[in-house]
Amino acid sequence: MLRIFYSPVFKDHRPSVYHPERPERLDTAVDALKARGLWRNVAEPEMASLDDLLEVHSREYVERIQNLSGSFSMIDPDTYVSPGTWEAALKAFGAAREAVFSASGHKGIYLALVRPPGHHAGRNGRAFSAPTLGFCIFNSVAGAAKLAEELEGEAVVIDFDAHHGNGTQEIFWKNPNVIHIDLHERDIYPWSGYEHDAGGRGAEGSKINIPMPHRARDDDYILAWRGIVLPILEELEPEVVVISAGFDGFLGESLTTLQLTERFFSYAGSTLSSYSLAVILEGGYSSGLKKGLPAFIDGYLHGDIQEEPIKPSYEAIRAVETVAEIQSEWWGVRLT
């Protein structure tokens, strides 16, 4: 089962000059899905309510975005708002919630093909020590996770965007019921998400950070996926998994040094095929949307897990070993 939540309203959040987070991203994604026969069961999502936003953001932050959205404005060196931002962000937040509702009711993959992105947005805007919001407005994944927690008693989030989902992690830092697994390139924006960052007091072990080395490839990520991600999912046996789906680590993308291909994304999708997924788009600006996004969905739908031999780098082995050692206090993780 594949269903897509999409609206042309998402393209009304637009910059005044060139910006990598631009409306054309969605055109790229839609064209890629159409080319693979995956553009089907498309539904217009409802807008989120103010109360929905206030479950994960402060009133002061929400009102600031609403007030600034009357005109074009740069709210920090990375992030803009425009006259269409408020409605686009509300509808994106609503789409993420609808994806969770649907995933809870019937097993399948439910894609919220949305923008603006959100996983860097914390409760009050910038999260942890990040210098900017990193293109993000409202944290749709956090809204999805909050709803999943209400429906299922706990929420599981996997974030494979190339950048650490610092906003999501900050919002749920002290919440043991939201398990947040985050694979990302280490030592790049937002300069957080290190191995020992395992959750706040009372929530230790609920945050699993896997910072991967620069120029990591498919085999490196598959090692982390097999050794950390899958064992935790097997322990939890969640009804729904929320995916913070960034494709900016794909080979040819320009914002990171990662060199992932269809092989990893197809593999990741196939290994999740026994779960119901609420997939919310984060990053990805060119090749990742053209190739990584359809590969992930195809992998899920076909469910054909290709367990091929891998040759990860020494740096990746050390990184995963370190995470496994730290997280073994709470989880039965292993390096295979």
Active site residues: 120
Nearest to 255 by CA among 218, 281, 286: 286
Chain length of the chain: 336
Q: How far apart are CA 26 and CA 132, in angstroms?
A: 23
In a 13 Å sphere around the CA of 331, the CA atoms on its Cβ side amount to 26
Q: How far apart are CA 329 and CA 312, in angstroms?
A: 25
Residue 172 vs residues 110, 218, 312: alpha-carbon distances, Å = 23, 29, 32
Residue 83 vs residues 11, 87, 200: alpha-carbon distances, Å = 11, 9, 37
Dihedral sign for Cα atoms in the order 203, 204, 206, 212: positive
Q: Which tokens hold the place of 253?
A: 């993308």
- How many other β-carbons are positioned within 10 Å of the β-carbon of residue 99? 32
Nearest to 294 by CA among 252, 259, 265, 272: 265
In the chain, % helix, strand, coil (3-state, to 5) comes to 40, 15, 45
Residue 125 vs residues 129, 185, 209: alpha-carbon distances, Å = 11, 22, 21
**Are the C-beta atoms of residues 99 and 111 closer than 8 Å to each other?**
yes
Q: Reduced to 3 states, what is the DSSP secondary structure of residue 60?
A: helix
